[in-house]
Structure 1
Amino acid sequence: MSKEKETHLCYKDVNSDESLVLARKDALEWIFKVKAHHRFNALTIVLAVNYFDRFFASFKFQKDNPWMGQLAAVACLSLAAKVEETQVPLLLDLQVEESKYVFDSKTIQRMELLVLSTLKWRMNPVTPISFFDHITRRLGLRTHLHWEFLHSCEHLLLILIADSKFMLYIPSILAAATMLYVIKEIEPCHYLEYRKQLLRVLKT
């Protein structure tokens, strides 16, 4: 629990500022469009959003520079792809899907360095996905529904993290809530049993 809090900041200031919420919304909408275009996996996007949110909360954005959020989004997605993907698009190829601004490679690389230094090079944070497979194994969900279950959890998680209100929850809580919802959808008859087991796992 302490490890996940190391890379989970307090985001109340972001949610209290409408302009920051809007900037985040625009940035994440672009990130999700690029995900669909390049078929990035869920963890890449979760990492990109994690980097962006942590950078967003730590770095004082200049509201009169609307391109700043877009540049940060490009840099964070590029860094996440380098961490997780086996094939990483060129920086110019990454900027697809109706980008409001297009940045040259040197500008993006400078922003990548700024993100890295701001995040103190902590690029492997604990995320909700970190808990999915572990908890699934502990719950004994090793059936033919296993991969469908994980896929459903990842799909729902991507919907949740797009909403700035969910920035307030630490990864384990977000993972537990996501899994409980999916369990109720897939195996409603065993929902109460799995809920008890899941809560027990989280306490250990």
Structure 2
Amino acid sequence: MELLCCEVDPVRRAVPDRNLLDDRVLQNLLTIEERYLPHCSYFKCVQKDIQPYMRRMVATWMLEVCEEQKCEEEVFPLAMNYLDRFLAGVPTPKTHLQLLGAVCMFLASKLKETIPLTAEKLCIYTDNSIKPQELLEWELVVLGKLKWNLAAVTPHDFIEHILRRLPQQREKLSLIRKHAQTFIALCATDFKFAMYPPSMIATGSVGAAICGLQQDEEVSSLTCDALTELLAKITNTDVVGGGHLLGIS
């Protein structure tokens, strides 16, 4: 039996608005995206108790929760953005790292989901090691430290802009999009990607998706080199550098 990535999206979505995908919107995203990056490599200068492997463990747990709850694709990368920005400014005991991860998912789902994750459900995923009241109290702490600035730019904000500007067969777009979203989620679990602009992660992920799929079927009329050059023009991004990070160039 051959397994194909052809799931039907059960969520009814609006038709893409061309006004939200024009060059002006893309340039605005490129202009403001770095405002939402962690301002330092916090393992070196802020966190004394938390190590990179601990972040990876809690990120993997967060991804599993989001997948099991069938959250929107944007929820997990956005939650990791909150977590990294918080840790870049607030020394945090390692015993509070899972609590922080739960709070970040709680906030991200409120922003992106029609029916957000509940505090009670998130506490169950921690084996009840935290209480709903504790999560709600920490929600206010995180909001305060992030200055209520939750509408961060993530790689997902660039995906449609990039796909609409590529000469792809329309019937292949959903497959490319799904693979690119997988790469974005994997990048969010690894701290070495946290300091890179979302546009670079998005362009590298789309490039990796198309080049990877090219090995199995014809999804693009472009060679990988031509694709890399076109992606660089779309987002003014060092896609070669992003490709090296993703291991595709």
TM over 0.5: yes
Supply the distance in 2 between the matched residues of 1:101 and 1:10 (Cα, whole angstroms): 33
Give 5+ residue unaligned stretches, structure 2: 1-29, 216-220, 238-249
Structure 2 CA distance, aligned partners of 1:47 and 1:102?
A: 24
Alignment match of 1:130 (pick from 121, 142, 157): 157
Answer 1 or 2: higher relative contact order, Cα 8 Å, separation at least 6: 1
Query: Are 2:76 and 1:49 aligned?
Result: no
Q: What's 1:185 paired with?
A: 212
Whole-Å separation in 2 of the counterparts to 1:26 and 1:186 = 29
- The answer to whether the 8 A contact 1:42-1:154 is kept is yes
Q: 1:114: which partner in 2?
A: 141
Which SS does the other structure have where 2:38 is aligned? coil
1:85 to 106, 113, 134: 113
Identity rate of aligned residues, in percent? 23
Shift of 1:61: 1.2
Give yes or no for contact 2:52–2:191 (8 Å, CA) kept in 1: yes
Q: Does 1:172 align with 2:177?
A: no
Residue 3 of structure 2: aligned partner: none
2:190 is matched by which residue type in structure 1?
D
In 2, distance between residues paired with 1:82 and 1:187?
37
AA partner of residue 28 (structure 1): A
Q: Which amino acid aligns with 2:211?
A: K
What secondary structure does 1:139 align onto? coil
Distance 1:101 1:166, change over 3 A: farther
Query: How far apart, CA to CA, are the structure 2 residues paired with 1:100 and 1:25?
Result: 19
- 2:95 is matched with 67
The count of corresponding residues between Structure 1 and Structure 2 is 200
Considering only aligned residues, what root-mean-square deviation do their CA atoms show, in Å? 2.1
1:43-62 per-position Cα deviation (integer Å, ceiling 9, x unaligned) = 01111111111111111113
Structure 2 Cα separation of the partners of residues 198 and 146 of structure 1: 15
CA–CA separation in structure 1 for the residues paired with 2:123 and 2:60: 13
1:29 is aligned to 2:60: yes
